[in-house]
Chain A
Amino acid sequence: MAEETLTTAQSHGHGHGEHPPHLAHHFESPGQQFDACKFGMWIFLCTEVLMFSGLFCAYAVYRANHPEIFLYAHKYLDTNLGAINTAVLICSSFTMAWAVRAAQKGQQGLLIGLLALTLLGGFGFLGIKYIEYEHKFHKGLLPGAQYNPTVTPGDHGNGDKHAEMGDHELITSEHDAGNAHTAPPGAAPARHDEEPAVAPTGVKPTEQTGLEKTTLPQAAPPPAGRSMEHDHAHEHGMTGRPNNVHLFFGIYFAMTGLHGIHVLAGMAFIAWVLKRSIAGEFGPEYFTPVDLVGLYWHLVDLIWIFLFPLLYLIH
């Protein structure tokens, strides 16, 4: 729909010979049209920020209530990959800004090259993100009911860090992982009505066999003795793993996933602008789409700059 914003500029091109070709009939001047489009884009960016702010609020609430989950689980993330991705996005933001300038100055070749570079940056970011996601899917580092880790925090797939914590070898078991992935929907915890609902112990993959998890949840303790969510007494068991680690991954995937979709959308817009600039449609008198796509791309970059420290760099 951002596209709609942009193409509006070309609408109503009919029957107004005295107008510049890109000026819609209901605007008085190209300047007014440019201001309107840019203002519209800023408002749209506001809505994007507010959409993400919902997730940032969820993050803040859960981090405040369960700091131990975040401290524990963020070690599953690979800071190096995150840092590389941050650098990639910042570079692509720079090339984007430069591309806008090139469009304003009418430097056609430079504009095309810079847009292509920006697009490449987007691909790079998504590629690295894919590596990260793939690793997590493989190792069962998934949100909610699917959470079933087969690695320890700090192991990013190099396979040589298992020695750090001996007790995690108990976890492994492909059998476990397979069970979790193929479990019928009815067996998902959301349907575990027989579970002690008031004691949301979540899924404790390390303490249950797959069979127990899918078919035989523990019997509920007597009502008087139920432990509650905010009862932290059980959260640091012998293994040092807090309960409900999967919440971190719920938030991680929601935030990075939504951001990833925005990167994809941004790339689609860049590709579209690239196509139009190859056709030579932009120049000093008309570069609105390049400018607006640039704004959008900077926002995508900016959101990642918040996500990176909040998710990867927790102390």
Chain B
Amino acid sequence: MAIDEFAESMSLASAPSPSASFWLPPQGSTVAQGVDSVFYYIFWISLFFFALIVVLMVWFVFRYRRRPGHEAQQTATHSIGLELTWTIIPVIIVCTMFYKGFASFMDMAVPPANAYEIEVVGQKWSWNFIYPNGYIDSELHVPVDRDILLTMSSEDVIHSFFIPAFRVKKDVVPGRFTKLWFRATNPGEFLVFCTEYCGTQHSDMTTTCYVHPVGEFEKWLAKASNFLDQMTPAEGGKLLYQRRGCTQCHSVDGISGIGPSFKNLFGKSHLMTDGSTVTVDENYIRESILNPQKLIVAGYEAVMPTYAGRLTDREISAIIAYIKSITEGYSGDESVPEESSAPANEEAVGDKPGANANEGRQTNDE
């Protein structure tokens, strides 16, 4: 889908950037060069002083090694002039480091006006990028050569948003917004990390930033925003499952994670922590997504955040369709004639025994 096409459009531009070095990753944003020049400024000064210290040390150890006939020569026990020299010279040097670092920092700290704003929401353990039209994706797509302003907040604990190639990083703190801006200089794919420890799957809280060539971003956004129109509900549900953080807790291979697996879930009976028994149907899934603390399957923690306001009804229906599609016994549903699925909805699979009651409700609602 869009990403494959992206990869094609990238194939020309994906040659390794010449700006990558032993120490630093390729430069992907306008501030990277400034940061790197500060890095190498400190690096060469440090290397000089380190070499000076080690060479002197090794030379002294060799030259004045203890051996027969060699006595320590008592030299001056202090020298104000000498000591002031190696106090004042470092002071001057670190002042220049401070100044260069501060100047370069201000470039990345002050967001330019009229930047393209994307909202970022961190949650354990995924990122959500909310584009101005309301479309939400778990990967970051941005146009090249345009100022991008990320307004970030967290659903749970502190995360930190980091794109090494762009040399930008900012904590994502619950209860407040933090801002981060960058301007990507060349199209490509760049790693995004969470760098503030946030729990079990901290190391999986990574995603990709796609920088689109001029003109491509708008096309991508338009297409991506309407993805449910272009595929079956089950396929759309699968994408939502992959992109909206479900994967972190719910597997599709039958192995229980932090939450129950989605495989063969539909129609199953679950014992709840309050002692009741619930059969997984459309209403239960919907309720679990919008109000996850209400009924907890026995053996699991009540840790799922609500998706109320974050998934539309149509998206929830698509996820239900996806869960049905990976439930054995519903396998025949996929073969329902394509025409009937045009207004993507769960009626398509409604004629199974387990779903009768809900089918009735659906009709009544309409």
Residues of A participating in the B interface, judged by any CB pair closer than 8 Å? 186, 191-194, 197-198, 200, 215-217, 219-224, 226, 228-230
Q: Which residues of B contact A215 (CB under 8 A)?
A: 293-294
In the complex, which of the residues A193, A215, A228, A229 has the most CB atoms of chain B within 10 Å of its own CB atom?
A193
**Shortest distance from the beta carbon of B67 to any chain A beta carbon, whole Å:** 44
B123 nearest in chain A by CB position: A197
Interface residues of B in 117-174 (CB under 8 A from A): 119, 121, 128, 130, 134, 153-156, 174
Residues B291 and A222 in contact, CB atoms below 8 Å apart: no
Report how many A-B pairs have Cβ atoms within 8 Å.
64
> How far is A194 from B177 in the complex, measured between Cα atoms in Å?
19
Residues B310 and A223 in contact, CB atoms below 8 Å apart: yes
A191 nearest in chain B by CB position: B302
**Contact bitstring B274-306, A, C-beta under 8 A = 1, else 0:** 000000000000000011111000000011111
Residues A193 and B134 in contact, CB atoms below 8 Å apart: no
Contact of A219 with B308 at beta-carbon distance under 8 Å, contacts A193-B156, A229-B176 already known: yes
> How far is A197 from B123 in the complex, measured between Cα atoms in Å?
10
**Shortest distance from the beta carbon of B196 to any chain A beta carbon, whole Å:** 15
**Shortest distance from the beta carbon of A303 to any chain B beta carbon, whole Å:** 31
Known: A194-B305, A219-B306, A220-B310. 16 other contacts (CB 8 A): A186-B302, A193-B303, A193-B304, A194-B292, A194-B293, A197-B154, A197-B156, A215-B293, A215-B294, A216-B291, A217-B293, A223-B119, A226-B153, A228-B153, A228-B176, A228-B177
**Which 9 pairs of residues, A with B, have the shortest CB-CB distance?**
A219-B308, A222-B309, A194-B306, A198-B153, A229-B175, A194-B293, A200-B175, A197-B174, A197-B155
- Our pick among B130, B176, B291 for the contact of A230 (Cβ within 8 Å) is B176
Give me 10 A-to-B residue pairs in the complex whose CB atoms sit less than 8 angstroms apart, sorted by A's number: A186-B302, A192-B293, A193-B293, A200-B174, A215-B293, A219-B291, A221-B309, A223-B121, A223-B130, A229-B176
**Shortest distance from the beta carbon of B160 to any chain A beta carbon, whole Å:** 16
Q: Which residues of A contact B175 (CB under 8 A)?
A: 197-198, 200, 228-229
Secondary structure of the B side of the interface? loop
**Contact bitstring B97-112, A, C-beta under 8 A = 1, else 0:** 0000000000000000
Residues of B participating in the A interface, judged by any CB pair closer than 8 Å? 119, 121, 128, 130, 134, 153-156, 174-177, 290-294, 302-306, 308-310
> How far is A215 from B176 in the complex, measured between Cα atoms in Å?
26
- Our pick among B130, B176, B293, B306 for the contact of A224 (Cβ within 8 Å) is B130
A226 nearest in chain B by CB position: B153
In the complex, which of the residues B119, B155, B304 has the most CB atoms of chain A within 10 Å of its own CB atom?
B155
**Shortest distance from the beta carbon of B123 to any chain A beta carbon, whole Å:** 9
Q: Which residues of A contact B176 (CB under 8 A)?
A: 198, 228-230
Residues A224 and B119 in contact, CB atoms below 8 Å apart: yes
Residues B310 and A222 in contact, CB atoms below 8 Å apart: yes
Q: Which residues of A contact B128 (CB under 8 A)?
A: 223
**Shortest distance from the beta carbon of B131 to any chain A beta carbon, whole Å:** 11
Q: Which residues of B contact A230 (CB under 8 A)?
A: 176
